[in-house]
Homo-oligomer: A and B are copies of this chain.
Amino acid sequence: MSERALPLHAQVERSLRDRLGSRDLRPGDLFPSEAALQQEFDVSRSVVRQALASLESEGLIHKVRGRGSVVAEHREVHRDVLRSGLRLESDGGGEVSTRVDAYDVVPRPDHLASITGEQVLQLGRVRSVGGVVLSYIRTWLPVDVAEAIGETDLEDASLHQLLADRLGRHVVGGHNQVRAVPATAALAERLGVPVGAPLLLLEGRSVDRDGAALEEFSTWHRGDLAAFDVEAVPPSARDGDGRLERLARTARELLAEIETLR
């Protein structure tokens, strides 16, 4: 159905829903007034009111006495990409569950840079938080991992915990890339979103303490449910509260003291 065929209030509603979805308007922000929306869309006040009532009934905005409408807080799952690269942190404390969707030994895809061998173990897992599907995880592992970790072991389990417990290999970090991509039909079905919906894709590889590759992965997260937290700090500031600076001062004082003793 083309935009033109929609009733006016539905057109206004869709446009406002877009602005909320894109975070052009953010939680906590005052929503534009009825008068401002009337002017922006060149429609009657009753059309604006119909659109607002729809958004309000879905909990996207709410009325605040004396202020008008305010953009509602939005439940989403945050993931600290920097510190762990791994751990899901649910705002609401929802339980994390994992379903294994694929467990196959396949010819090694050429894009895998860190895993060698003719074949690799490829996993497909659907991860949910609080009963809602959040992400689809595709993981590639050296093929001999299949001897230590079976398909059923992975149900509702942490792959990294299994790698540590069964193989004594500990994930300590890795190189990740983040992209916004459209959902294919297959991803849309797994994640319960429309085809083409924005997904937050985390691609990466994990290494152990010795820098040896443990896994590569692509994790597609529902864009409407997931946010990644990234603390940006320059190298010089990474020691927290200037402890390196204090150590340097101590070292300089020590050298000066040694000079006086010579």
Which B residues touch A237, using CB under 8 A?
172-173, 209
Which B residues touch A198, using CB under 8 A?
180-182, 197-199, 223
When A110-B30, A111-B29, A226-B179 are in contact, do A231 and B173 touch as well, CB less than 8 Å?
yes
Q: Which of B173, B218, B234 contacts A23 (CB 8 A)?
A: B218
When A82-B82, A84-B234, A238-B238 are in contact, do A227 and B179 touch as well, CB less than 8 Å?
yes
* Per-position binary interface string of chain A over residues 171-184, scored 1 when its CB falls under 8 Å from any chain B CB and 0 otherwise: 01111111111111
Which B residues touch A15, using CB under 8 A?
184-185
B22 contacts A181, C-beta separation under 8 Å: yes
A18 to B197, CA, bound (A): 11
A49-88 contacts to B, CB under 8 A, are: 70-71, 78, 81-86
B23 contacts A179, C-beta separation under 8 Å: yes
Q: From residue A33, how far is it (CB to closest CB) to chain B in Å?
A: 12
A145-182 contacts to B, CB under 8 A, are: 172-182
Q: From residue A246, how far is it (CB to closest CB) to chain B in Å?
A: 13
Residue with the highest number of chain B CB atoms closer than 10 Å, among A86, A173, A182: A182
Q: Which of B81, B220, B227, B232 contacts A232 (CB 8 A)?
A: B81
Number of copies: 2
Q: Say yes or no for A21: interface residue by CB 8 A criterion.
A: yes
A230 contacts B178, C-beta separation under 8 Å: yes
Q: Say yes or no for A26: interface residue by CB 8 A criterion.
A: yes
Q: Which of B21, B70, B111 contacts A26 (CB 8 A)?
A: B111
B111 contacts A181, C-beta separation under 8 Å: no
